[in-house]
Amino acid sequence: MFLFFSFFKRSAHAIDSLIERIGRFVSWLTLVMVLVTFCIVLLRYLFDLSWVMMQESIIYLHGLVFMLGAAYTLKHDGHVRVDIIYQRCTPKIKAWIDLLGTLFLLLPVAGFMLWSSWEYVMSSWDILEGSRNSGGLPLVYLLKSCLLLMSGLLILQGLSLLMSKIVYIFEPGTKHG
């Protein structure tokens, strides 16, 4: 049984480390988004210039931040939660709620997102879909691929959460506050 818990702890730590690195990288995209927006405003109002590619890059960056940051937000327990019951529970009951929520809500929904977006993304790759606007970014298929990446990262972080909660609940000698 010790090997089982040890494997879960190591696996959860490895997944958490990966998600943490991705989240820290993605956080820099918000700075890039602000700088590009600033440039767009300067170019438009000072020089009367506008490029569709720059405007679309804001949309792409926004999408990347949300899609690639979802698992990081989950790792840091930053998603919206109805705290009417949860806040009054003991740590062990909270762990059970998290475990069951992950098992019966998060993993099935993320799996469905992965499954349902697969064909959509692949058809975009088949034609190397680009912007519909003249002068726009030719990489729509890459942005759509982030749907698969988001789902996969949510599944990974969900598995990490699941393993952590199993260890917390069932490992002998664990103090539950």
Question: Is there a domain that residue 176 lies in?
Answer: no
Q: Which residue has the higher pLDDT, 79 or 1?
A: 79
Question: Is there a domain that residue 153 lies in?
Answer: yes
Q: Each residue of 17-34: pLDDT tens digit?
A: 999 999 999 999 999 999
Question: Is there a domain that residue 177 lies in?
Answer: no
Q: How many domains does the chain divide into?
A: 1
Q: What is the pLDDT of residue 176?
A: 57
Question: Is there a domain that residue 114 lies in?
Answer: yes
Q: What is the pLDDT of residue 11?
A: 96
pTM of structure: 0.90
pLDDT band per the 50, 70, 90 thresholds, residue 44: very high
Q: Is the pLDDT of residue 174 over 70?
A: no
Name the residue with tokens 């438009």: 44
Q: Is the pLDDT of residue 87 over 70?
A: yes
Question: Is there a domain that residue 133 lies in?
Answer: yes
Q: Is 157 exposed, middle or buried (0-12, 13-18, 19+ CB in 10 A)?
A: buried
State the chain's mean pLDDT as an integer. 93
Closest CA to 44 of 55, 33, 35: 55
Q: What is the pLDDT of residue 79?
A: 83
Question: Is there a domain that residue 131 lies in?
Answer: yes
Q: What is the pLDDT of residue 125?
A: 96
| Rounded average pLDDT over 88-95 | 92
Q: Which residue has the higher pLDDT, 177 or 170?
A: 170
Q: Which domain holds residue 52?
A: 2-170
Closest CA to 165 of 76, 110, 91: 91
What lies within 8 Å, CB to CB, of 37 at 6+ separation is: 58
Question: Is there a domain that residue 175 lies in?
Answer: no
Q: Tell me if 22 sits within 8 A of 153, measured CB to CB.
A: yes
Q: Each residue of 96-143: pLDDT tens digit?
A: 999 999 999 999 999 999 999 999 999 999 999 999 888 888 999 999
Q: Count of CB atoms within 10 A of residue 61's CB?
A: 20
Q: Is the pLDDT of residue 172 over 90?
A: no
Question: Is there a domain that residue 108 lies in?
Answer: yes
Q: What is the pLDDT of residue 117?
A: 98
